[in-house]
């Protein structure tokens, strides 16, 4: 089973930096960057609004903790939002993700 990881970043440059680092370490097989999103959220009891970029990562479930640790090292936010969604994909995609990130142990 694979996972999708959603990470909001302060901008596309930060998302790209994180994506490339994770790809080089073979912790993810793919990274998509949605460059312009508008986020509204509560932070310290105040309604905030930010322009951000959304980073979407594809990897194996077994790499979740390693990916999360790496993102936290590189992310600029005090509290980076890192969301995980388990997904079922076709066998071909599953093989591709495993091939690029190493087989599940």
Burial class (CB in 10 A: 0-12, 13-18, 19+), 73: exposed
> Would the pLDDT of 105 be above 50?
no
| pTM: predicted TM-score of the whole model, two decimal places | 0.93
Give 37-49 pLDDT, tens digit per residue. Answer: 999 999 999 999 9
Using CA of residue 28, residue 30, residue 35, residue 38, what is the dihedral sign?
negative
Read off the pLDDT band of 103 (50, 70, 90): low
Domains assigned to the chain? 2-101 (3.30.70.120)
Give 48-87 pLDDT, tens digit per residue. Answer: 999 999 999 999 999 999 999 999 999 999 999 999 999 9
């Amino acid at each position: 089973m694979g996972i999708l990881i959603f990470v909001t970043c302060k901008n596309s440059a930060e998302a790209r930096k994180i994506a490339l680092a994770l790809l080089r370490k073979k912790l993810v097989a793919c990274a998509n960057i949605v460059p312009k999103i508008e986020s509204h959220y509560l932070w310290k009891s105040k309604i905030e609004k930010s322009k951000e970029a959304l980073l979407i990562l594809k990897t194996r479930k077994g790499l979740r903790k390693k990916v999360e640790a790496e993102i936290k090292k590189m992310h600029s936010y005090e509290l980076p939002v890192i969301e995980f969604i388990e997904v079922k994909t076709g066998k071909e995609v599953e093989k591709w993700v495993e091939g690029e990130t190493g087989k599940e142990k």
